[in-house]
Structure 1
């Protein structure tokens, strides 16, 4: 029996469901014994590469592979599965080679068997256009695998085309594309830099320089399956050759030969690991084959993502990036890396909401089912909890000792604080003690924000302290009389909570932080060794105080992922004010893996008109965000009435659902996103009346079944193949933005969060995005 290693190519993720079990069985047997007679692993006569082999998957389909003999073992690069005759032709023409400049492995296609082209061509990925075709002219793709020879007939698993446009309902019309104009583009490199510095061959360098706009170079990048795809994507974003080499970690490692060992060495370089992976075991193989695109992030990390997983930092580190750039992916892999490096380490992975924490826990189990998991705060292993759950866990474990922390924060000792304050408590406090409040401050929104941003972080328990405290970043100026009026309401709020024995979320986090800080000062240590934070932009000052108290300052203490453009809950703040200093330890991801370039441009258009700052109070820009994928331009459909909009939605969802099986997807990859639960339930009912079954989703996970409908807030942390944004009219903007009973600062910040919410919703769509409304369109939609 001769065991062998298996190397998979990323574009394999498009696997026809009818071939998955056969593909797994074939590859499993290949790794166990490549000499097994049933596999029929055979060389191909007159092939461009003597390493190429074919193997029998079944009577109709054959796999194309490359056999590499290393110093101690044998490896197979799995290229794809095609109909028998097509597989033979592909095997004859395709070859592996090392790049003479950087030593990375490349997949090229010879013009004829045994004939190396004067300038190497490339092997297109599924559905990708060649240099001479447009997206609409893209040729067929294989049953599974990244390559297709021009003219090969479609086989099982050929990439499905774009969904048909929805049949408009009554009084519906498709507006002109509301997509921001593509920015001017010019490659930031010379021909010599592309060839001699980066390693592109001369013909490809000429094609890059000839690209007239960003669309052209994105089309070109989509035609490759190896390192060149990522390199062209970086060039499309305006990177220089030096920046491309840094982001992909391309080193000076010339490929002096095309030996098997040289190719294996090239495959192990960081720049190759974004497209090729050495499969560790059969469980990983099964996950790769069965989960396809939605599970690809667990195996193939972009080199820039990988370096943030593996590097150590002497203090807090902040990783920013737009929606879909892989920040959460980095956190999950980093948690795994830290746990494997030290199984006794106490690692906490946290985020803002319970739904997001549950999703993190599920994804961590998918990434590594055997990873040690902690059950309680302070236990070895990885603990995944929402940040508020961490606060209540610390309070519960403190027992009666929590009374001192309550006194420190709220001015009155109590250990009966396990219940949560009612949602209308601020309204009740205003009714009780708010008679002296100016009209502009007579809102729960302002008072809660003032309490959480100023009073709680400073542990203010007396009016005299509040009258003289600084209020940086609050916007609204308060004179002495106004501060006194605000304090009266705060005292009424606290008095009611003491009677009820409750804490609100911010109070609980502040109390827990005070208790943990006191314990550490007394020599009892901290509860965590490493703390990883997702969606950091939504956390409050109290949350940051809690997180700083949970883990002591030191190597790899805090790793924070955030995107100020996705701030849909919290208020703007600066981490340095809460003991978290990230001077010189901050980086940004710019390559979007989730959405198509067209959907990304639409989503970014929503942000136009807003001014955003990150957690270090630096301007947050979107100019360098770019996507690795192409797709149809988002549709925006104006409807004359709610009934017309529901008719349009029914036609659209019905067509998508019929198409889903052809794409190898379930209908749960279709989502309708709306502004609130009332509208969600109305849409579910209206579509049901039209014979379209849609399932409302609240806190539960999205599982196989009918298409889903959820609020845009609930959609945070999810992704779907196709998304309908329903009801995007001017009425979808909340009262705080449109009304006159709120301060200017409140309204501006609320409008910023509404932009962020629509950006989050639009960026949930992987492949296709449709936007509908009736009446007047929302002012937040991009206008071209």
Structure 2
């Protein structure tokens, strides 16, 4: 059997129809099984510039371009599949194609040759001496966007960019031009140019892409150098070994040879494969691939140790279902653990995770006494309606608490972040406990008043025989701690958390006690700019010690540069803190794609806005955009219902998206909160006026001291919504436009 490597689609390769893709699969399957089979017609070309190049017969009309690398030990050869083209085109391309190891950085590069005509960009097939002509080019080069920081020689001699690409990049007069060049460059070169555009130093770019100071081992022959270069992280942006037929079928039938499940950026791959001595935190903006890394890492850990008990969790059950589906898309053979504590990958929302841990942890009497102050707590399916109970308690108990604090929102946050987090069971404990991160300072009389309400809340819950989700989590965390203290072990070997910025205190207490502190214990993916729930927390308070094991992703794979600029502008002027209380910045965020500027549509009134939203959706549908990839996002459920009805009345088949999966064939209408973790090709942000965004009702419901924090969440919510759009973004409003939207950010 031949070893098989698949290259990501080159930009020159024509799209293949399904029938041809099926034939490509059959060809590659036969090649992998027996490369000597006569029906494959694997043939060299006499006029080829690279003796390794081959073409193979897919059918009468199409041929595949391959490179054959022989193993000097006589083992099976390695074939690198570069793509499939019409017969005559394939032969002409193959003659001018070359496989080389970049002498500057050691990256393997497959260069598809040039055809006559205007449609194909010229690719160098040799590596010219970078001096002489290049030195003269440097002197004659006018000032450019990069000139103040780099020379042209830096791009070729230190990064290893192709000279013609380097010259075009160096000639770029502004960032937009450079971004356009980067978007059309293949593999690592496009990624490196994006880094240059955002101001990264060349040494930093080399480190992120895994370049070394000794890229080529001269003691090896060329074929051995090529095989070694395949192991280089940046090479894996263009090439991947196919380990089995099932993986190959998924790549071929998926129709996207550069799918995220196969090709990772070197920086992403590093975080997938690295071992850490303790907890690791990966941050990054929307669309930078944090979730992708977490899913790949879960699979990597499972493959390296089939007996490992791995937990993959996130904020809620809807996002958890998406994680599970993505994991099974990546690897349909992944072992999914049905029960917490079993070998394999257990995937679930964190509230369900806490419930499972508590159900499996044994008698909870001691935990209940430590957390709630009494031993008689029972695990029933009754869950406290916290908002209702707090309202009832406030109305029925004469506590003397200020009206601005006697609200369900303030009391619930205080109960979770302070009382449950610190296992407070008496007034004496509450009077002394520290309250870091809480915006409102409480005097002793105020604490006494709050405690009266807490006692009434707990009394009501006992009468109802119910527990709230935070109470379940706090009980689970304490029960797991007691189990470990009694040397009864832990339920997990590795825990991976996505959307970690939205977890509250009892979530973190649970996670810390779910796995022993040690190697690769906790992998935390978060973006504090996307925190739309709860209050900020500090990981160290829960015994989670990052101690320098934190990194940040900055390359956005989802949105265009224009949409990213718009989304980031929403955050401007506000200060955010990460889970270690460090400053969270949007510096260096950049996109791998370009597109149109977001459109800002002011409407005369609410009816006019409904008309314009419907008109825009119909325009997209008329251009044959898949309706399921179009989304209208609203601030609240009432507006969502209104837009579903209005679109239907105007001839657009739309569906409300709540906890249900997205429906095929329908335009999706959903709240901004529901859009978290999703992406769409076209997005309309509707109702972005000063009443809805930020929500005036939400801001009125919080104490003055917490108003700034609530406004940060409103910014974050709009940022989350704006960053759902891959290609086009439209913003509509009637009345006064939201103060969070800057006019210069769109058309």
Normalising by the residue count of structure 1, what TM-score does the alignment of the two structures yield?
0.86
Other-structure match for 2:657 = 697
- RMSD (Å) for aligned C-alpha atoms: 2.6
Other-structure match for 2:96 = 93
Query: How far did 1:467 drift?
Result: 1.9
Residue 428 of structure 1: SS of its match in structure 2?
helix
Matched, 1:403 2:365: yes
CA distance in structure 2 between the partners assigned to 1:741 and 1:646 by the alignment: 29
Q: Give the 3 Å change call, closer, same or farther, for CA 295–97 of structure 1 in structure 2.
A: closer
What do the CA deviations read for 1:149-196 (whole angstroms, capped 9, x no partner)?
A: xxxxxxxxxxxxxxxxxxxxxxxxxxxxxxxxxxx8767444443333
Q: What pairs with 1:299-314 in structure 2 (closer than 5 Å)? A: 299-314=262-277
Other-structure match for 2:199 = 238
Other-structure match for 1:654 = 618
CA distance in structure 2 between the partners assigned to 1:301 and 1:727 by the alignment: 37
Matched, 1:733 2:693: yes
Q: What pairs with 1:125-164 in structure 2 (closer than 5 Å)? A: none
Q: What pairs with 1:688-767 in structure 2 (closer than 5 Å)? A: 688-733=648-693, 735=695, 740=700, 742-767=702-727
CA distance in structure 2 between the partners assigned to 1:709 and 1:59 by the alignment: 47
Other-structure match for 1:159 = none
What do the CA deviations read for 1:93-119 (whole angstroms, capped 9, x no partner)?
A: 332222122222224466689xxxxx9
Other-structure match for 1:208 = 169
Other-structure match for 2:142 = none
Q: Which shows bigger deviation, 69-78 or 273-282?
A: 69-78
Q: Give the 3 Å change call, closer, same or farther, for CA 573–561 of structure 1 in structure 2.
A: same
Other-structure match for 1:78 = 81
Other-structure match for 1:676 = 636
CA contact (8 A) 1:723 1:765 kept: yes
What do the CA deviations read for 1:295-340 (whole angstroms, capped 9, x no partner)?
A: 8111111111111111111111111111111111111111111111
Other-structure match for 2:119 = none
CA contact (8 A) 1:98 1:255 kept: no
CA distance in structure 2 between the partners assigned to 1:29 and 1:654 by the alignment: 46
Q: Find 1:389's aligned residue among 352, 372, 376.
A: 352
Normalising by the residue count of structure 2, what TM-score does the alignment of the two structures yield?
0.90
Q: Find 1:320's aligned residue among 283, 286, 306.
A: 283
Q: Give the 3 Å change call, closer, same or farther, for CA 741–626 of structure 1 in structure 2.
A: closer
Other-structure match for 1:782 = 742
Matched, 1:446 2:446: no
Other-structure match for 2:587 = 623
Q: Give the 3 Å change call, closer, same or farther, for CA 447–3 of structure 1 in structure 2.
A: same
What do the CA deviations read for 1:506-536 (whole angstroms, capped 9, x no partner)?
A: 1111111111111111111111111111111
Query: How far did 1:215 drift?
Result: 1.7
Q: Give the 3 Å change call, closer, same or farther, for CA 621–510 of structure 1 in structure 2.
A: same
Other-structure match for 2:29 = 28
Q: What pairs with 1:459-474 in structure 2 (closer than 5 Å)? A: 459-474=423-438
Q: What pairs with 1:601-620 in structure 2 (closer than 5 Å)? A: 601-620=565-584
Residue 730 of structure 2: SS of its match in structure 1?
strand
CA contact (8 A) 1:94 1:108 kept: yes
Q: What pairs with 1:339-418 in structure 2 (closer than 5 Å)? A: 339-398=302-361, 401-418=363-380
Query: How far did 1:293 drift?
Result: 5.3
Other-structure match for 2:130 = none
Query: How far did 1:434 drift?
Result: 5.4
Query: How far did 1:211 drift?
Result: 2.5
Q: Which runs of 5+ in 2 are unaligned?
A: 117-121, 127-144
Residue 440 of structure 1: SS of its match in structure 2?
coil
CA distance in structure 2 between the partners assigned to 1:490 and 1:185 by the alignment: 61
Q: Give the 3 Å change call, closer, same or farther, for CA 767–706 of structure 1 in structure 2.
A: same
CA distance in structure 2 between the partners assigned to 1:312 and 1:346 by the alignment: 16
Query: How far did 1:435 drift?
Result: 5.2
CA contact (8 A) 2:287 2:723 kept: yes
Q: Give the 3 Å change call, closer, same or farther, for CA 15–544 of structure 1 in structure 2.
A: farther
CA contact (8 A) 2:92 2:115 kept: no
Q: Which shows bigger deviation, 15-24 or 98-107?
A: 15-24
CA contact (8 A) 1:737 1:748 kept: no
CA contact (8 A) 2:14 2:85 kept: no
CA distance in structure 2 between the partners assigned to 1:782 and 1:716 by the alignment: 22
CA contact (8 A) 1:446 1:746 kept: no
Q: Find 1:545's aligned residue among 489, 509, 514.
A: 509
Q: Which shows bigger deviation, 559-568 or 103-112?
A: 103-112
Other-structure match for 1:512 = 476
CA distance in structure 2 between the partners assigned to 1:397 and 1:111 by the alignment: 64
Other-structure match for 1:162 = none
Query: How far did 1:67 drift?
Result: 3.1
Matched, 1:103 2:106: yes
**How many residue pairs end up in the alignment?**
713
CA contact (8 A) 2:8 2:258 kept: no
CA contact (8 A) 1:669 1:720 kept: yes
Query: How far did 1:695 drift?
Result: 2.3
CA distance in structure 2 between the partners assigned to 1:189 and 1:671 by the alignment: 43
CA contact (8 A) 1:187 1:209 kept: no
Query: How far did 1:226 drift?
Result: 3.2
Matched, 1:228 2:189: yes
Matched, 1:490 2:454: yes
Q: Which shows bigger deviation, 437-446 or 579-588?
A: 437-446
Query: How far did 1:36 drift?
Result: 4.2
Residue 652 of structure 1: SS of its match in structure 2?
helix
Query: How far did 1:610 drift?
Result: 1.8
CA distance in structure 1 between the partners assigned to 2:592 and 2:434 by the alignment: 46
Q: Which runs of 5+ in 1 are unaligned?
A: 114-118, 124-183
Other-structure match for 1:156 = none
CA distance in structure 2 between the partners assigned to 1:484 and 1:77 by the alignment: 72
Query: How far did 1:600 drift?
Result: 1.0
CA contact (8 A) 1:186 1:213 kept: no
Other-structure match for 2:540 = 576
CA contact (8 A) 2:6 2:82 kept: no
Query: How far did 1:667 drift?
Result: 3.3
Query: How far did 1:760 drift?
Result: 1.1
Q: Find 2:229's aligned residue among 260, 266, 272.
A: 266
Q: Give the 3 Å change call, closer, same or farther, for CA 722–62 of structure 1 in structure 2.
A: farther
What do the CA deviations read for 1:192-235 (whole angstroms, capped 9, x no partner)?
A: 43333222344444433333222222222223223222222222
CA distance in structure 2 between the partners assigned to 1:447 and 1:73 by the alignment: 68
Query: How far did 1:486 drift?
Result: 1.5
Query: How far did 1:643 drift?
Result: 2.8
Q: Give the 3 Å change call, closer, same or farther, for CA 121–504 of structure 1 in structure 2.
A: same
Matched, 1:297 2:265: no
